Chains A and B, each alone.
Chain A
């Protein structure tokens, strides 16, 4: 035992010291990081609603044994102006987290924004660009959105895939369709 301690006391002491330093770092920075993530999510939630949102009410819906976050978007007078759905699932590389805006009656998609992604830089990560995700504005929520290569037709609920990033484009659409299909029927309970 003494031989063990004699050989390893420095490593053990340093490990304990570093562990304490890391705990201190987490305590100092942790709350700010959480606040940053919440602020980013709320900013995205408001961005996908076309009208001015004065208040965001964070709610939770249970679908298939999972809790999904839904934001109820209210205007100055407290009337519902839209809903923002949040979901994340696997894309091409890893998980994609996105927010989808629905109109207050749940019939139309008012916008979509990808909040977190690790898709290929310059190709797949164009899903995070407003130029691409603005295609979802005005599409119908009752039917699935369809991804097509080449020019798209808005009447048939289509979006154009990014050239060279079909899988990422399809992943975003798949996630959006899934969360809309799961949460739309439950919107009335949240009113």
Chain B
């Protein structure tokens, strides 16, 4: 699953953004990707919240790794992630009330987002804090970028706007399907297809 082209922290960061992108390559975290990307604002805030949780969770796991026994590690990951997600959720409800209402239950659902517990298991429990932090930021950035790509497409076509500002010309007929789940699936499928095509072309070009 992890395809690491180099061992350093910088390589870990780069991998998280592109070659190991959690949504577009690893196909993890599909639930929020499909549910909340109908606007760019939602996508950015969700990405930021998930990145915050990833960074804190990876840091705590990595620092405590000599003490974490294998048979309690899932339990420890879960309570760590749940705590930071709750803090993020309360912060959003206090300081970004409107967005918090739009994201609804999907912020607490970050607790069960596979991406975060996967990074704890695959990276943070085996590596030092620096590498774990770079991994967290890279994966978080990759997640945010994937969400934003979908958010831009869906908001532009589905609501004719970007970040709430009307962008499309006045006569444009909104593609309502883009705001609904079927539009999410269609857009995601096409984006993954395009990304796969680019990756295959790049690796075929590199081998030749």
Contacts and interface: CB of A to CB of B under 8 A. Distances in A.
B114 interface: no
Contacts, number: 57
Nearest to B183: A122
B5 to A, nearest CB: 35
A33 B94 CA distance: 5
B67 interface: yes
A156 interface: no
Interface stretch (A8-16, A68-76, A174-182): A8-16
Interface of A, secondary structure class, is helix
A25 B93 CA distance: 12
B95 interface: yes
A121 interface: yes
A36 B72 CA distance: 39
A142 interface: no
B38 interface: yes
Interface in A2-52: 7-8, 10-11, 14-15, 18, 21-22, 25-26, 28-30, 32-33, 36, 40
A36 B98 CA distance: 10
Contact of B75 (A11, A25, A36, A122): A11
A10 B180 contact: no
Interface in B72-122: 72, 75-76, 79-80, 82-83, 86-87, 90-91, 93-95, 97, 101, 104-105
Interface of A: 7-8, 10-11, 14-15, 18, 21-22, 25-26, 28-30, 32-33, 36, 40, 116, 118, 121-122
Interface of B: 38, 64, 67-69, 72, 75-76, 79-80, 82-83, 86-87, 90-91, 93-95, 97, 101, 104-105, 176, 179-180
